[in-house]
Amino acid sequence: MSVLPKFLPLFTLWCLLQASSSFANPYEDPVVQTLNTGSEYSKFNPKLPPRTLSSSKKFEGSSDLVQLRYHMGPVLSSPIKIYLIWYGKWAQRQKLLIKDFLLSISTSDHRAAPPPSVSDWWRTVSLYTDQTGANISRSVVIAGEYSDLRYSHGNQLTRLSVQQVIGSAVRSAPFPVDHRNGIYLILTSEDVTMQDFCRAVCGFHYFTFPSMVGYTLPYAWVGNSGKQCPEVCAYPFAVPGYMAGGGPGALSPPNKDVGVDGMISVIAHELAELSSNPLVNAWYAGEDPTAPTEIGDLCEGLYGTGGGGGYVGQVMKDKEGRTFNVNGRKGRKFLVQWIWSPVLKACSGPNAMD
Ligand SMILES: [Zn+2]
């Protein structure tokens, strides 16, 4: 459900593995493998230190470990209308970047966004269906925006007070309550803290309570971690201090904004899960519905072929060294994590080499 910075407690174990000669040391061969393909970008296989040992790779070849089940609830099969809530101070260029990502989901014209594209990435999400066989919609639009410039509920939010933020937004004309096709995406600026942010979550999704908002509305929250914990929530554009010593360091973000480029992958993760489990009774693994493992969780930290086991996987690098794995509209490039495919029973992304 949430994007969890779960590699931190595993650091001790990781140290033990580093000390053992039977395990390959990722620092031994920090060679960046770059193939000149003659195109605008090159393949890039960054050997970053392990982010987590319980990574997605173990699921890739052994689907019996994953018991992803459908629990009979709805998925977002109608055209998806996103209502954006900008909480706090946002620069125009940051807003445009995030909006270009969201609008790229529906940009299926390959001249506008060549493959591998954001739209190709969403195709994996759209493979999920409800009881009637209806797929998750491939149409995603931004239906409205609301700016909460004055931090209406302070700069320290909780899982409950974020619902009050939505409540304030939907009570203000002309921002509507759309309980048919609407989902609400609350993005907090880098000076806003959130309960469990950086320690347990980088983003989460849920639905609002009628007692707080008046309706049951699916929503997701994602925070800008740029100042608070980029090494946790904007990984691999920032890496923890203990990793920076002998390794190749952080990857260069595709749009030169560590916080916002890091948010994009978290937004992608939460949108995929919100669409496949909007009321937390559709697609998830595990027996406990209060702590579901969803279609993004299964592939966290995995961005390309060969990823897992702590590696990002094979991604691309442009002429200026910025890393990405999908193309978006207006020539934009983004790095987004892979998603669990119900067809392949493995993590899948449009930049797969095989
Ligand atoms: Zn999740």
**CA 295 to ligand 1 centroid distance, Å:** 7
Residue 185: helix, strand or coil by DSSP? strand
Residue 2 falls inside a structural domain: no
**CA 158 to ligand 1 centroid distance, Å:** 18
Residue 141 falls inside a structural domain: yes
Structure tokens at 252: 């260069």
Interhelix angle 92-104/258-276, nearest 10 degrees: 40
**Range list of H helices, the chain:** 11-19, 57-60, 92-104, 118-126, 161-171, 210-213, 230-233, 241-244, 258-276
On the CB side of 11, CA atoms within 13 Å amount to 9
Residue 297: helix, strand or coil by DSSP? helix
Residue 332 falls inside a structural domain: yes
Q: Mark residue 146 as left, alpha or beta (left: phi above 0; alpha: psi -120 to 50; beta: remaining).
A: beta
**CA 341 to ligand 1 centroid distance, Å:** 15
Residues with CB under 5 A from ligand 1 (ion): 1, 273, 294, 296-297
Residue 18 falls inside a structural domain: yes
Please write the tens of the pLDDT for every residue from 163-179.
Answer: 999 999 999 877 889 98
* Domain that residue 28 falls in: 8-348
Please write the tens of the pLDDT for every residue from 108-137.
Answer: 999 999 999 999 999 999 999 999 999 999
Q: How far is it, in rounded angstroms, from Cα 187 to Cα 76?
A: 21
Residue 354 falls inside a structural domain: no
Distances from the Cα of 132 to the Cαs of 72, 123, 136, in angstroms? 10, 19, 12
Residue 353 falls inside a structural domain: no
Asked if residue 27 lies in contact with residue 19, where contact means CB atoms within 8 angstroms, the answer is no
Structure tokens at 154: 């302070």
**CA 52 to ligand 1 centroid distance, Å:** 16
Residue 14 falls inside a structural domain: yes
**CA 271 to ligand 1 centroid distance, Å:** 9
Number of domains in the chain: 1
Please write the tens of the pLDDT for every residue from 179-192.
Answer: 889 999 999 999 99
Q: How far is it, in rounded angstroms, from Cα 37 to Cα 35?
A: 6
Residue 235 falls inside a structural domain: yes
pTM, whole model, 2 decimals? Answer: 0.86
Interhelix angle 92-104/118-126, nearest 10 degrees: 50
Please write the tens of the pLDDT for every residue from 33-72.
Answer: 344 444 678 888 876 655 543 333 344 444 556 789 999 9
